[in-house]
């Protein structure tokens, strides 16, 4: 039986994203994150563990700073292999935590300190080196309720936001100023960074939630990760998706479950995301919608210019007549079907991709 130690509790749904993790055949030990830091346990005895593999999930800002991570080998123990899973990199709170140079330094630091084979998993395809930094995507996990929506919905497009960062607020302001939010089914829960300059005319609408008659809950008794739940009604109520990705940067090209959900609902989409995100999708074997949807925005590195190009195309799609829209859907149907089926294959390959990590 393989002995695995991790700083995530055995019940944590994030373990769902560990390829080939078999709870039934694993001796699993939970090592609290606090026990890894001398800063928080300077007066306590070390809590060493030994095993085959140590899986480390950095999920706060301090845990991603090299000065605070893996502070003392005595507090972890001896392992044959260390796997650092940075799939939560967008929500950790460090803007550059998925920057290739940061990830390269992080994996080297850990490997040198512990004299153990160290592998880092990242969603930033720009950072992979095929050796100790491997590219994968938690969005290739299991999903529920994939289906094809009707051709015409109640709203022109779907535009979902959780907690907005600066670049998301810039997108929302631009959509509002062009009168496009009124044609969308959109949400914005709150502003994380209070320095973000949300249009004052929108502030009294925040939090903006999806109407109750459209919201669907995860079925009772289902215990798969909530992030994998797809609310079909959102897609059935809209013609296409303006996917607001987690960030809109130039040093990462990752995409997340936000894009995958549109793929699984066979929903045409424009991505308000990182520079060259569409190229990442193509790298992963998916197709996109050019020339039927203008995708020149993906090659624009300047954020303001990229937002302008996205807004122009969203507005063009919104202004289409019904007959023109039906024609566009007919033209992109092959792409929608291909991507749906490709994802199902990708999901299966994802589960097999890192067998060697657990050998």
Locate the domains of the chain by residue range.
2-136, 155-347
Domain 155-347 belongs in CATH node 3.40.50? yes
pLDDT for position 326? 94
Residue 242 has pLDDT above 90, yes or no: yes
pTM of the entire structure?
A: 0.80
pLDDT for position 153? 77
pLDDT for position 186? 93
pLDDT for position 68? 45
Percent of the chain with pLDDT strictly greater than 70: 68
Confidence bin at 111 (pLDDT 50/70/90): confident
Confidence bin at 102 (pLDDT 50/70/90): confident
**Most confidently modeled of 53-67, 88-102, 126-140?**
126-140
pLDDT for position 64? 46
Residue 342 has pLDDT above 70, yes or no: yes
Residue 324 has pLDDT above 90, yes or no: yes
**Most confidently modeled of 115-124, 251-260, 280-289?**
280-289
What gap in Å lies between CA 238 and CA 244, rounded to an integer? 15
pLDDT for position 119? 87
Residue 106 has pLDDT above 70, yes or no: yes
């Amino acid at each position: 039986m393989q002995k695995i130690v991790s700083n995530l509790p055995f019940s944590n749904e994030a373990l769902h994203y560990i390829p080939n993790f078999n709870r039934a055949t694993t001796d699993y030990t939970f090592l609290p994150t606090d026990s890894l830091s001398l800063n928080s346990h300077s007066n306590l005895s070390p809590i060493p563990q030994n095993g085959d593999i140590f899986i480390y999930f950095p999920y706060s800002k301090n845990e991603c700073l090299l000065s605070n991570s893996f502070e003392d080998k005595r507090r972890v123990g001896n392992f044959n292999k260390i796997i650092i899973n940075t799939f939560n990199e967008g929500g950790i709170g460090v803007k550059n935590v998925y920057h290739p140079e940061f990830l390269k330094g992080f994996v080297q630091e850990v490997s040198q300190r512990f004299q153990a084979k160290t592998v880092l998993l990242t969603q930033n395809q720009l950072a992979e080196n095929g050796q100790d930094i491997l590219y994968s995507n938690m969005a290739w996990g299991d999903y529920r309720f994939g289906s094809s929506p009707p051709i015409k919905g109640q709203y022109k497009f779907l535009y979902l936001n959780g907690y907005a960062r600066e670049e998301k607020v810039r997108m929302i302001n631009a959509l509002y100023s062009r009168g496009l939010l009124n044609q969308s089914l959109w949400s914005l829960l709150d502003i994380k960074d209070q320095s973000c300059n949300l249009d004052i005319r929108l502030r009294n609408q925040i939090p903006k939630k999806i109407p109750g008659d459209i919201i669907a809950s995860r079925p009772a008794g289902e215990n798969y990760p909530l992030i994998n739940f797809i609310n079909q009604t959102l897609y059935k109520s809209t013609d296409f998706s303006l996917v607001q990705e987690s960030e809109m940067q130039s040093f990462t090209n990752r995409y997340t479950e936000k894009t995958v959900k549109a793929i699984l609902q066979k929903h045409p989409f424009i991505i308000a995301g990182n520079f060259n995100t569409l190229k990442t999708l193509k790298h992963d074997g998916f197709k996109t919608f050019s020339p039927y949807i203008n995708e020149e925005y993906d090659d624009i590195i300047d954020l303001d210019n990229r937002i302008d190009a996205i807004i122009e195309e969203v507005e063009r799609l919104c202004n289409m007549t019904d007959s023109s829209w039906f024609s566009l859907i007919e033209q992109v149907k092959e792409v929608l079907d291909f991507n749906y089926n490709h994802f199902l294959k990708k999901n299966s390959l994802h589960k097999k991709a890192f067998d060697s990590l657990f050998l």
